[in-house]
Amino acid sequence: MAADRATRIGVLALQGSFREHMTLLARIPGVQAVEVRTKAELESCAGLIIPGGESTTMALVAERWGLIPELQQFAAQERPIWGTCAGLIFLANRASGTKEGGQALLGGLDCTVQRNYFGAQINSFETLLPAPACLPRDSDPADTFRAVFIRAPAITETGSGVEVLAEYRLTKEEQAVQQRDSVVVAVRSGALMATAFHPELTQDSRWHELFVDMVRKHAAERAAAAAAAPAPDPAAKLGRVPTRPADLPVY
């Protein structure tokens, strides 16, 4: 596929694991990965990944570079966005445990996120979780994926329109403290997707493939809608208001 026809996926490159996302995107045929730091770079993309990192730092850098209004506009246009770890916090409508300046910037996901749900950096861990049906699967019906949690948030509440893609079953000790058996760690709603874990820190590109598929479907739907829209009225474009034919002259 020619570069000018490739699907352009942006990765917000202010801080965090954006290089790792770029590496996995480069493995997907027909994708052009773009590091996003400016308005022009953002506008050139059909979809955006907000990587894991320090949400407070990313918020401050985005504000300093004047990117917050551009990110909000990108989200308002319903272009696909995927947030991982800190990116999940940015996309959630409600967040607890956030620092000043580190709360959600974009919103759109009807869910409540708890920052650092699993504890500090020393409590980071990885595990195997069941792959959701929408994730490209291997031939093994008991397919799983590797989930890396680093000072990770978790989704403690979801709205009715949010699709749960993955859950983590808590240990007995965690169940006693949290008063629940499991916690949601991946969701999708419309053009938005979010994961509490870091797929970019593995060699498994299936989550990236899933997001690229979301972006391509969204682009196809927009193109179809544009093709089906009625042609603009040339007179209206020139600022003229159509009127009835002029009366015939009287002799």
Q: Are 110 and 93 in contact (CB under 8 A)?
A: yes
The one catalytic residue in 20, 70, 200, 209 is: 200
pLDDT of 3: 42
Binding positions are 53-55, 115, 150-151
Domain count, the chain: 1
The predicted pLDDT at position 85 comes to 93
What is the CATH classification number for the domain harbouring 177?
Answer: 3.40.50.880
Range of the domain at 205: 3-227
Q: Would you state the pLDDT for residue 38? A: 92
User: What pLDDT is recorded for position 2?
Assistant: 42
For residue 17, tell me if it sits in a domain.
Answer: yes
Which among 20, 111, 174, 198 is annotated as catalytic? 198
Q: Is 85 a catalytic residue?
A: yes
Query: Of 43, 102, 36, which is closest to residue 74 (Cα–Cα)?
Result: 43
Question: Angle at Cα 23 formed by Cα 167 and Cα 196, nearest 5°?
Answer: 20
pLDDT at 250: 52
Give the residue numbers of the binding site for L-glutamine: 53-55, 115, 150-151
- Is-catalytic flag, 198? yes
Profile the chain (251 residues) by mean pLDDT over runs of 10 residues. Answer: 73 93 96 95 96 82 87 92 94 79 74 90 91 79 87 93 95 85 95 96 94 94 83 63 54 47
User: Which one of the listed residues 85, 111, 208, 209 is annotated catalytic?
Assistant: 85
163 is catalytic: no
pLDDT for residue 1: 41
Q: Is residue 235 part of a domain?
A: no
